[in-house]
Structure 1
Amino acid sequence: MSTSSCYKVMRRSPELITPAKPTPCGYKLLSDIDDQQSLRFQLPMIQFYSKNEGVMGKDVDPVSVIRVALAKTLVFYYPFAGRLREGAGGKLMVECSGEGVLFVEADADVALEHFGDPVMPPFPCYQQLLFDVPGSSGILDCPIILMQVTRFKCGGFTLALRLNHTMCDVAGIVQFMTALSEIARGADAPSVPPVWQRELLNARDSLRVTYTHHEYDEPIGTEGPIIPFEILEHRYFFFGPAEIRALRRYLPYNLTKCSTFEVLTASLWRCRTIALHVDPEEDVRVICLVNARGSFDPPLPNGYYGNTFAFPVAIAKAKNITSNHSLEYAVKLIKKAKADVTEEYMRSVADLMVMKNRPHFTLHNTFLVSNVTRTGFGDVDLGWGKAVYTGLLPVMASFYVPFKNKKGENGILVPICLPNFMMDTFARELDSMLQNNEELATEVTLPYIKSSL
């Protein structure tokens, strides 16, 4: 069946899965990193599993296994079964009420092969695989997790999940999913007990902002139309060893050892800026989500599942990012932005959140990227083996996920979100770089548009 066609999904009525045993009640404050405006949204992700007897044996129903395991896992991760409330000054807290997480059981009239060989996005009618239960998608007073398990005709299935991002980051949800998988396979408890202790990332008693956090700048000169969501397109690009080598050839010898993330992000930033046809004298930004967990001394406890990442930003004039010799410049900016993230940087962010009412990072002319290739999400084994595909459903950020193409090459799959009338320009510029043309194609015929992309 063509992946361009839709399919039918039969859903049972959503149900609330509550912890299998009584759990503590009361309120738990989120950290001052957790409850910033930038994280007050729902993060959707999906895993595809093929028919594989694994440790479960034959004809075991994944819905039943996951439903029971979820209830048992919530005994340990009981804050997920609560509801977020807002206190004075916009401070978020979770009421540990045991109300439960939303769970949807579904069946689709297609086989796994409907989604490609190998399975890869874009997924047709993906909203069918993670149904937006009416009234469930708010930040406050709503279920913190929505989970849907959809069986396919072939015996495969998907586990799709939507998470209130204020509660944890991708590493935190992977920790939760790993616990779920361990219990689904028969464990009595997670191998890594969860740790709350959100006070570890709270603002200091004596507030002091010790860094210049340009990621939270108030943008100027952003008048003009905002591009409507309806004309945005998500397209996916694969970067294997050959593609990364091609991009590295644009760098001088002293930078050829830069990370894959750095050279890839710099290249995509360049192509995206050209596609958007930004005024050459206007600032453009790239925000690299950086996991700061390893920066703390003493270390954060093993099992801490709160948000531990920062939004460091690299800023440049558009003309300096789109020139033919711009890649070296962009890589250096990205390296510096990443290197800025230290424990003191995180303390400074927490203090800034309290001082300035938890501002959102600047969206204007901002390219937001996150490397989740090493989070271990793809290793989650619910009893049917590892997922054949793991990734995030369409969001405005570009999340780099691990992927193996038809040739068996391991690489990185990157989603790009742009207005549909600009996407071909982006693809043409990227292809020009990958072909190692001496003269990169930079001519753009699109009108200059100011947007929040």
Structure 2
Amino acid sequence: MASNKKNANLLSFENKEVVFIKPSNLTPSTILSLSSIDHSMMGFFAQSLHVYRSLLGNPNSSEDDDRNTTNTINPTTKRDPAKVITKALSKALFYYYPLAGKLVKHGDGKLRINCTSDGVPFQEVICNCNLSSLNYLDNDDVEIAKHFGIDFPFEDEHGNQYLMALKLTKFLCGGFICAWGVNHAVIDGTGKVQFLVALSELAAGESEPSVKPVWERERLVGKITSHPLGIPMDNAYAAVSPLMPTTDYSHACFRVNKESITRLKRSLMEDIDHSAVALKKRFTTFECLAAYIWRARARALKLNEDGETMLLIIVGLRQRLEDPLPSGYYGNGVVDVYVKLTVKQLKEQPLFEVVKRIREGLIASSSNDYITNYMDTIENDPLGDNLDYESAALTILTDWRYLGSFNKIDFGWKKAVNMMPVPLKMMCDILPPNSSMRGGVRFFTTQPTTAMPKFKEEMKLLMTNDPTINFQSRL
């Protein structure tokens, strides 16, 4: 692909009125309760961008996208992506009818879904350029990509939250970008992919989804207990940064190729005590990158060395339960894994020791006892009042590589040529490589603007093809 770049200031948009896509048929009018894990995600709206190129002429050629045309529908099939996708969305909401309702706080303080069939807010937008001029967002330019995220309110005039939203931006070439936003209190990443696969099946003419949605949120409800698991980091001892708090954040994406990952793993394995039971298997890509990113962020933020820092990893539990969740379950099926060190330990001890601690935390979290205790803990403290999610001492990391079958999502324009998150300031996300990469991963992060140069310096060392760099001892 070309390396075209476009200044965000040169983009102009024609924004159409927000409308509501309702279920295609009558659905139950009821009130649904959420799981304990759902409650812990209150107020968290996750967005992702899915980029689809035009099918004009040869779908494998980028030349057609550069033609000067004002045709924002598929020139080959005469199909308008907005009409195709909203029609399929209406059908999908018949099966996933809770998503057409609203999240409402009831008298007991609990959030519940009012299944009102009010619908999913949808906005169609026309952009004044061809997707090829943006390189299909393949440059991972987050500042450009932000313009295509959902920017209308996620709640009604009474403060009741929508559960899903869609913004579809069409380009002059016939390509388009879908921004899918979901209320994380109702659906997680795996559930979102399940929904989008169902939607694409209905867009292709199927009469019903191949996987039927399952609610069953009562299966993940914890118990009120006087001995919750607790958060391992006391805010009184949390490390602080001279660069935070701030309102000035920058976003970045780093492409870490497979050679860099191999080199990092090789460096980590050199000094390992192979008698350690937890290290009989080779380190995973995630474990290695998690340790490196955590340390890089601590250095970039200039955390005080006598303070504590914590890595919070969000991992799936669907197949870890003694009684696994059914395949159609689309609620939150995740637990938090906590790994705590002093900043001095994180910076100065060999990096493989940090990886070892991460592995131990991940292994411990896979037990049924941990999952049960975790649900009990958040049932006692659903809003996470004991944890400051915007603390400089906390690094939150997610792994998008195994969320589900993104390749099956095809609305009639073939699979997306690119997919990326809309950044949140407290999240770090590891994603699969995009179409222009041969293996490796993409890493999206948001940091205070004043910390980003140092963070980029740390990441550049990881991605530099220099076999002499020692990741273990470099301070």
TM-score by length of 1: 0.89
Give a deviation string over 1:175-222, Cα, whole Å, max 9, x none: 111111110111111100000010000123x6364645427x545457
Q: 2:376: which partner in 1? A: 351
Q: Bigger shift: 103-112 or 219-228? A: 219-228
Whether the aligned pair in 2 keeps the contact of 1:3 and 1:124 (CA below 8 Å) is no
Q: 1:175: which partner in 2? A: 194
Whether the aligned pair in 2 keeps the contact of 1:82 and 1:143 (CA below 8 Å) is yes
Report the Cα offset of residue 117 of structure 1: 6.3
Whether the aligned pair in 1 keeps the contact of 2:137 and 2:145 (CA below 8 Å) is no
| Amino acid in the other structure paired with 1:3 | K
Whether the aligned pair in 2 keeps the contact of 1:115 and 1:123 (CA below 8 Å) is no
Q: 1:242: which partner in 2? A: 259
- 1:34-49 matches, within 5 Å, as 34-36=38-40, 38-49=41-52
**Separation (CA, whole Å) in 2 of partners of 1:335 and 1:397:** 20
Question: Any unmatched runs of 5+ in structure 1?
Answer: 444-453
Q: 1:326: which partner in 2? A: 350
| Amino acid in the other structure paired with 1:186 | G
Whether the aligned pair in 2 keeps the contact of 1:83 and 1:97 (CA below 8 Å) is yes
Distance 1:294 1:137, change over 3 A: farther
Report the Cα offset of residue 25 of structure 1: 0.7
| Amino acid in the other structure paired with 2:452 | M
Q: 1:429: which partner in 2? A: 458
Report the Cα offset of residue 103 of structure 1: 0.6
Q: 3-state DSSP class of the match of 2:113? A: strand
- 1:48-197 matches, within 5 Å, as 48-52=51-55, 58-116=77-135, 119-134=138-153, 136=155, 141-197=160-216
Distance 1:214 1:133, change over 3 A: same
Give a deviation string over 1:266-311, Cα, whole Å, max 9, x none: 1111111111111111111111111011111221112001101111
| Amino acid in the other structure paired with 1:28 | L
| Amino acid in the other structure paired with 2:257 | G
**Separation (CA, whole Å) in 2 of partners of 1:288 and 1:393:** 19
**Separation (CA, whole Å) in 1 of partners of 2:378 and 2:5:** 48
1:26 paired residue among 30, 33, 45:
30
1:366 paired residue among 394, 404, 407:
394
Q: 2:292: which partner in 1? A: 267
**Separation (CA, whole Å) in 2 of partners of 1:245 and 1:202:** 41
- 1:274-353 matches, within 5 Å, as 274-323=299-348, 325-341=349-365, 342-353=367-378
| Amino acid in the other structure paired with 2:395 | F
Whether the aligned pair in 1 keeps the contact of 2:418 and 2:435 (CA below 8 Å) is no
2:423 is the counterpart of 1:404 = no
Report the Cα offset of residue 410 of structure 1: 2.2
**Separation (CA, whole Å) in 2 of partners of 1:230 and 1:212:** 30
Distance 1:400 1:270, change over 3 A: same
Whether the aligned pair in 2 keeps the contact of 1:84 and 1:94 (CA below 8 Å) is yes
Report the Cα offset of residue 137 of structure 1: 8.0
Give a deviation string over 1:303-337, Cα, whole Å, max 9, x none: 001101111111111112112x5211110111111
Q: CA RMSD in A?
A: 2.6
Give a deviation string over 1:216-259, Cα, whole Å, max 9, x none: x5454577878355421111111121110121132135458111
Whether the aligned pair in 2 keeps the contact of 1:273 and 1:318 (CA below 8 Å) is yes
Distance 1:21 1:105, change over 3 A: same
| Amino acid in the other structure paired with 1:296 | L
**Separation (CA, whole Å) in 1 of partners of 2:419 and 2:382:** 35
Q: 2:65: which partner in 1? A: none
Q: 3-state DSSP class of the match of 1:295? A: coil
Distance 1:88 1:352, change over 3 A: farther
The alignment covers a number of residue pairs equal to 437
> What percent identity do the matched residue pairs reach?
27
Question: Any unmatched runs of 5+ in structure 2?
Answer: 60-73
Report the Cα offset of residue 156 of structure 1: 0.8
Q: 1:11: which partner in 2? A: 15
Report the Cα offset of residue 404 of structure 1: 3.2
Distance 1:439 1:197, change over 3 A: closer
Q: Bigger shift: 397-406 or 328-337? A: 397-406
Q: 3-state DSSP class of the match of 1:234? A: strand
Q: 1:375: which partner in 2? A: 403
2:232 is the counterpart of 1:207 = no
Whether the aligned pair in 2 keeps the contact of 1:172 and 1:304 (CA below 8 Å) is yes
Q: 3-state DSSP class of the match of 1:176? A: helix
**Separation (CA, whole Å) in 1 of partners of 2:351 and 2:215:** 41
| Amino acid in the other structure paired with 1:308 | G
